[in-house]
């Protein structure tokens, strides 16, 4: 391989290796006992992991993270398919792209700002509840009740991320030969039947990708629960990344790295197959 070819990859490789270095460094520290109370760390093997895993906040936050990701994957996929089929059967390309843009625009706004806005929309006196009471429905407690706090978080993330799923499904649907769909229509199949008999079964790729990305995006949401709960310590909205950040701010460094390592491992389990599917299907073709 020539010099000119290798130069091309140097920046990407360099920064990827820095990232790998960070991840490994982090993993290394998680086998130590470094904290505010113990500024000269030493190797303790799995001890830190054992003590972290035993803590209530750890399992509580991990369950929240997984709950959030799994709900988003489930709701996002179902709603994504529904919206994508609504868009697919539009005759006008212009209308399709306008509606698509409306579903995807939350991604252009930062999650922190989304958090700010939804804080007010969730206000039980002047927010969405004001409309509900106006039309005679009961108030919904949203963030003011511990049992509805977490579902409220899910609602915002569904609003923010369903557009991506719809987009991937629409892209998948559009790649299916138009003639096949038209033939089905001539055979008397309705839109609903075409969707679940023809479009969805032929969009397995979209399913894999949208599941992977919805999982990864929601698994790393930080600013939304951070702002909705006003910090890192609300145990009803605490996710793994929040908990890890909390451990960092109180200077339990090794504990934080142990949580970070677990987060990285979970994310990697999803990322690596995604990457290999992508490179096999697309780059090498």
Partner 1 sequence: MRPVIKASLHYLALAVVSVLWLIPVYAMVINGFKSDLEVSSTPVLVPPTQFSIGAYVSVFGSLAKPLLNSLIIVIPTSFIAAFLGAMGAYFFYTLSYSYSRFSSTLSDVLFSLIALATFIPYQATLIPLTRLIVDMGLLDTYAGIIFAMLIFYIPTGALLMSMFISVLPRSLVEAAKIDGTGDLKIFLKIVFPLSMPGFISTLIFIIIQSWNNFFIPLVLVTTPEMKLISVAVEAYTGGYGTLYNDTFAAAMLASIIPLAIFIFLGRYFIRGLIALGGGGKGV
- Is residue 275 a contact point for partner 1 (CB under 8 A)? yes
- Residue-wise DSSP of 209-272: HHHHHHHHHHHT--HHHHHHTTSS--TTT--HHHHHHHHHHTT-HHHHHHHHHHHHHHHHHHHH
Among 22, 46, 137, 269, binds partner 1 (CB under 8 A): 22
Measured between its terminal Cα atoms, the distance across the chain in Å is 22
How near is the Cβ of 195 to partner 1 at its closest, in Å?
Answer: 13
- Is residue 87 a contact point for partner 1 (CB under 8 A)? yes
Q: Which of residues 33-52 bind partner 1 (CB under 8 A)?
A: none
How near is the Cβ of 264 to partner 1 at its closest, in Å?
Answer: 5
- Is residue 256 a contact point for partner 1 (CB under 8 A)? yes
* Binding residues with partner 1: total (CB under 8 A): 106
Measured from the CB atom, the residue of 189 and 267 that comes closer to partner 1 is 267
Q: Which of residues 173-232 bind partner 1 (CB under 8 A)?
A: 174-175, 205-206, 209-210, 213, 216, 219-220, 222-223, 226-227, 230
Among 46, 63, 137, 272, binds partner 1 (CB under 8 A): 272
Q: Which stretch binds partner 1 (CB under 8 A): 40-48, 49-57, 116-124, 181-189?
A: 116-124
- Is residue 2 a contact point for partner 1 (CB under 8 A)? yes
- Is residue 248 a contact point for partner 1 (CB under 8 A)? yes
Question: Residues 218, 68: contact at Cβ < 8 Å?
Answer: yes
- Is residue 78 a contact point for partner 1 (CB under 8 A)? no
- Is residue 153 a contact point for partner 1 (CB under 8 A)? no
Q: List Cβ neighbours of 100 (8 Å cut-off, separation of 6 or more).
A: 87, 163, 166, 167, 170
Sign of CA dihedral 106, 107, 108, 110: positive
- Is residue 126 a contact point for partner 1 (CB under 8 A)? yes
Distance CA 232, CA 225 (A): 8
- Is residue 105 a contact point for partner 1 (CB under 8 A)? yes
- Is residue 234 a contact point for partner 1 (CB under 8 A)? no
Q: List Cβ neighbours of 119 (8 Å cut-off, separation of 6 or more).
A: 143, 227, 228
How near is the Cβ of 211 to partner 1 at its closest, in Å?
Answer: 11
Other beta carbons within 10 angstroms of residue 269's beta carbon come to: 10
Q: Which of residues 130-149 bind partner 1 (CB under 8 A)?
A: 130-131
Among 41, 60, 99, 139, binds partner 1 (CB under 8 A): 99
Question: Residues 104, 164: contact at Cβ < 8 Å?
Answer: yes
Maximum Cα interatomic distance, the chain, rounded to a whole number of Å: 75
Distance CA 130, CA 153 (A): 20
Measured from the CB atom, the residue of 49 and 226 that comes closer to partner 1 is 226
Question: Residues 259, 240: contact at Cβ < 8 Å?
Answer: yes
CA torsion angle for 97, 102, 103, 108 (degrees, to 10)?
A: 110
- Is residue 76 a contact point for partner 1 (CB under 8 A)? no
- Is residue 237 a contact point for partner 1 (CB under 8 A)? no
Among 74, 78, 120, 235, binds partner 1 (CB under 8 A): 120
């Amino acid at each position: 391989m020539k010099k000119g070819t290798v130069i091309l990859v140097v920046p990407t490789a360099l920064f990827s290796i820095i990232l790998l270095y960070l991840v490994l460094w982090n993993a290394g520290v998680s086998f130590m006992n470094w904290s505010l109370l113990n500024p000269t760390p030493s190797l303790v093997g799995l001890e830190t992991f054992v003590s972290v895993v035993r803590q209530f906040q750890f399992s509580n936050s991990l369950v929240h993270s997984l709950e959030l990701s799994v709900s988003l994957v489930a709701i996002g996929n179902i709603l994504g398919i529904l919206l994508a089929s609504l868009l697919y059967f539009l005759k006008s390309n212009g209308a399709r792209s306008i509606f698509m843009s409306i579903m995807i625009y939350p991604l252009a706004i930062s999650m922190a700002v989304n958090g700010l806005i939804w804080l007010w929309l969730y206000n039980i006196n002047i927010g969405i509840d004001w409309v509900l009471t106006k039309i005679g429905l009961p108030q919904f407690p949203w963030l003011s009740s511990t049992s509805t706090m977490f579902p409220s978080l899910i609602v915002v993330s569904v609003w923010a991320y369903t557009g991506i799923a719809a987009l991937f499904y629409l892209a998948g649907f559009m790649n299916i030969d138009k003639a096949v769909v038209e033939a089905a229509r001539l055979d008397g199949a309705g839109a609903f039947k075409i969707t679940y008999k023809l479009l969805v079964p032929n969009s397995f790729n979209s399913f894999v990708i949208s599941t992977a990305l919805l999982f990864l995006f929601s698994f790393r949401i930080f600013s939304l629960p951070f702002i909705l709960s006003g910090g890192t310590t609300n145990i009803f909205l605490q996710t793994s990344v929040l908990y890890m950040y909390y451990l960092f701010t109180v200077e339990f460094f090794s504990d934080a790295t142990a949580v970070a390592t677990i987060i990285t491992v979970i994310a990697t389990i999803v990322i690596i197959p995604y990457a290999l599917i992508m490179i096999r299907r697309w780059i090498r073709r």
